[in-house]
Amino acid sequence: MSVVMKFGGTSVADPDAIDRLIGIVRRQLHQRPERAPVVVVSALAGVTDKLIEVTRQAEEGDAARAGAALLALLDRHVTMAAAVAPASATALQASIRADFGELMGLVHALAVLREVSPRSLDAVLAAGEVVSSRMVAAALADHDIPAAWVDARSVLVTDAEHTGAVPDMDGNRRRLRDRARRHVDGGEVMVLGGFIGATRNGVTTTLGRGGSDYSAAIFGAVLDADEIQIWTDVDGMLTADPRIVPNARLAPQLSFAEASELAYFGAKVLHPSTILPAVTRNIPVRILNARRPERAGTVITAGGGAADGELTAIACKRNVTVIDITSSRMLMAHGFLRRLFEVFERFRTAVDVVTTSEVSVSVTIDDTRRLGDVVDNLRHFAEVACEPDMAIVSAVGENLRSDPALFVRAVTALDRIALRLVSQAAGRRNITFVLRDADVPEAMHRLHEAFFAPAAAIEPVSAHDS
Ligand code: ADP
Ligand code: ASP
Ligand code: MG
């Protein structure tokens, strides 16, 4: 197979971005004319956020504002369609209008009911990727690149866990390979929306925010792609979040495990589930900058990793809640941990960091929607205290496994910052600190300074300095 190329929201944001995308796809086709790439796209930048706002307005019964917001979105897409695919603009605009027509009907109904279930939310959000992918397919064709739009909902089948659906990999393999054979082998670029799928019964689902990366990895794995490319607005995985540490620099190579840890602990450039499908088929994942396509980016492989004695990168996950759970007996009774985690399981609340002492367990959670239920149920057998506005800062590197000095350096760098929890996982590829969210910038700067600052002076990288 060829490659799967995923373009994020900023990489399809406007006509200039689409021009760059066309150039990038054309270059790929020149390299491998007999194997067309599969292109996966996100909604245009900001569209998913806008659609979420629309569902909030619908929930408040404000049909007028929701309708006006949708009209503005329709206008943005229709205007852009004329710019990126002038030759086929009429047909493209007609299908965009039809998609929006359906969406407006749905949102109006939701506003009447004043209720947006996860299932309805998925149906609304999916529209962003449906129209962006139609537009990219038309733009490629308009520029003499053979391209076919494929509705991702007809090939990516998931369970019914709305807003965070899980794909059925075996079923998808069959379906997608059939479709791909028709297009890719004939030199035709297959264009699909990321982030979206459907249940076996055809009900629209989404894979969770940032899920287009995950879609690309799923498509790559089922098609046995040579490479999964994530085209975005930064040069690759950087040594820290550039919004917090502006002099973060490129991490040119990562192992699958490091990339997973970084994504899981907040490096937004990669959706946390992206790596798993790639690992199962051992497919390299490359993160590339669509504004600077000549750069090498970050390559993620089984081997990967930084030079000896170095950390690979740091990441942070903000606004988490710490829950301290203390056994009502003097010591933790046998079965205490089982009961405790059963509560989190029952209320489908994922736990990120866990530390234990003789009588108590502290955990962090990110999703507080069911916090009330979790706490009420824990109180049946334990004392519970919650602390919001906390954050997780994680230092990641394969070398942590072999070099204990890295741990000491990290802790020393955080001198006088109150560390609420510290943990080093069994794989020991990361050290995780839980601290006050307000201390995150300081902690990230200090860690970055301690591990990465010298080279930052040589090659600073920021998101938009081109
Ligand atoms: P896309 O729309 O292309 O999927 P995202 O906004 O989801 O892009 O992810 C890219 C952004 O991730 C970057 O602009 C950057 O601000 C942020 N980011 C956070 N941590 C990192 C990191 N360690 N390396 C690179 N980017 C990061
Ligand atoms: N458009 C979706 C989001 O903003 C999916 C993605 O961009 O990956 O979350
Ligand atoms: Mg993303």
pLDDT of 353 higher than 70: yes
pLDDT of residue 453: 80
Q: If pLDDT is split at 50, 70 and 90, which confidence band does 456 have? A: very low
Ligand 2 midpoint to CA 466 (Å): 24
> In testing the pocket of ligand 1, which one of 40, 235, 269 has its CB within 8 Å of the most ligand atoms?
269
- Mean pLDDT of the region 334-348: 92
- Mean pLDDT of the region 339-361: 92
pLDDT of residue 332: 67
Each domain of the chain, given as residue ranges in start order, spans 3-232, 313-451
- Mean pLDDT of the region 125-154: 97
Ligand 2 midpoint to CA 34 (Å): 31
More confident residue, 8 or 460: 8
Output the CA angle 327-333-338, nearest 5 degrees.
85
More confident residue, 93 or 403: 93
Classify domain 313-451 at the CATH superfamily level. VC0802-like (3.30.2130.10)
pLDDT of residue 180: 87
pLDDT of 189 higher than 50: yes
pLDDT of 43 higher than 70: yes
Q: What atom in ligand 1 is closest to the CA of residue 313?
A: 23
Q: If pLDDT is split at 50, 70 and 90, which confidence band does 192 have? A: very high
Give, using CA atoms, the residue closest to atom 4 of ligand 1: 8
- Mean pLDDT of the region 346-355: 93
Ligand 2 midpoint to CA 28 (Å): 24
pLDDT of residue 172: 86
Ligand 1 midpoint to CA 214 (Å): 14
Q: What atom in ligand 2 is closest to the CA of residue 214?
A: 8
Q: If pLDDT is split at 50, 70 and 90, which confidence band does 330 have? A: low
More confident residue, 73 or 185: 73
Classify domain 3-232 at the CATH superfamily level. Acetylglutamate kinase-like (3.40.1160.10)
pLDDT of residue 428: 79
pLDDT above 90 covers a percentage of the chain that reads 83
Nearest bound ligand to the CA of residue 17: 1
> In testing the pocket of ligand 2, which one of 42, 129, 213, 271 has its CB within 8 Å of the most ligand atoms?
42
Point out the least confidently predicted range of 179-183, 266-270, 294-298.
179-183
pLDDT of 460 higher than 60: no
Q: Is 272 in the pocket of ligand 1 (CB under 6 A)?
A: no
Residue-wise pLDDT tens digits, 109-119: 999 999 999 99
pLDDT of residue 357: 81
pLDDT of 466 higher than 70: no
Maximum separation of any 2 CA atoms in the chain, in Å = 76
Q: What atom in ligand 1 is closest to the CA of residue 45?
A: 2
Q: Is 194 in the pocket of ligand 2 (CB under 6 A)?
A: yes
Residue-wise pLDDT tens digits, 367-419: 999 999 999 999 999 999 999 999 999 999 999 988 888 999 999 999 999 99
> In testing the pocket of ligand 1, which one of 213, 229, 234 has its CB within 8 Å of the most ligand atoms?
234
pLDDT of residue 422: 92
Q: Is 234 in the pocket of ligand 1 (CB under 6 A)?
A: yes
pLDDT of residue 458: 43
| Mean pLDDT over the full length of the chain | 93
**Interatomic CA distance for residues 175 and 170, integer angstroms:** 9
The reply to whether 313-451 shares the fold of 3-232 is no
- Mean pLDDT of the region 320-338: 84
**Interatomic CA distance for residues 243 and 117, integer angstroms:** 33
Q: If pLDDT is split at 50, 70 and 90, which confidence band does 455 have? A: very low
Q: Is 241 in the pocket of ligand 1 (CB under 6 A)?
A: yes
pLDDT of 437 higher than 70: yes
Ligand 2 midpoint to CA 226 (Å): 24
